[in-house]
Amino acid sequence: MDWYSSIFELIDMRSFSNLWFWIALAVTWSTTSHWVLGVPFDMVNRARRNGGQAEADLEDITRVNVNRLLFIARVSGLWLLGFACFLLTMLALLGFWYKIEFAQALFLLGFPMSLVGLLSLSTARKIEYEQCTGEQLRQRLTRHRTYTQMIGTLSIFVTALWGMYQNLNIGVLGS
């Protein structure tokens, strides 16, 4: 057996039957819902409980991340949007028109993450516009996390349904 066959046996390109894909999906959404605009959500809870220095730290790290995100969006936002649309369209066509399962899996990971990216940009703009601090900032970050979790839950559900359909379809066709 050559190294090429060994690698493709280890990393099965039929994504929906591969345990690594489901682990990556779970880790992606767990990480995404924990890091709200680049701020670990435990800082929000700590600021809510303790106030004082924890509150100041939350406001500082949020301000830095909001300014960073908005700077990137203002400087190269249209280019990033164009590239993301191109990439997602390419994955959708390869996955669902040409029936390449790996592209389907990447699209089912990437499209909901792009929605979270747009949500993050919207939340960052609201935080900057309203100059959120204190309780208002914590509520804004909590709301963002809730929406992210809703997108993640729906994404996992749709991905699981599509993955089961693909596995059953290939199982029926394979026998």
Q: Is position 147 within any domain?
A: yes
95 part of a folded domain: yes
Q: Does residue 17 sit within a domain?
A: no
Instruction: Report the alpha-carbon angle 163-154-27, nearest 5.
Output: 70
* Higher-confidence position of 22 and 175: 22
Per-residue model confidence (pLDDT) at position 168: 83
Q: Please state the domain count of the chain.
A: 1
Task: Please answer whether residues 104 and 96 qualify as being in contact, where contact means their C-beta atoms are separated by less than 8 angstroms.
Answer: yes
What's the CA gap between 133 and 127, in Å, rounded?
Answer: 9
Residues 2-58 pLDDT 10s: 777 766 655 555 678 888 889 999 999 999 999 999 999 999 999 999 989 999 999
User: Residue 9 falls within a domain, yes or no?
Assistant: no
In a domain, 175, yes or no: no
75 belongs to a structural domain: yes
Strands 35-36 and 39-40: antiparallel
Q: What's the domain range around 78? A: 54-167
* Domain assignment of residue 93, yes or no: yes
* Tens-place pLDDT, residues 134-158: 999 999 999 999 999 999 999 999 9
Please report whether residue 162 resides in a domain.
yes
Going by C-alpha positions, the residue among 130, 117, 111, 100 that lies closest to residue 35 is 117
pLDDT at 20: 86
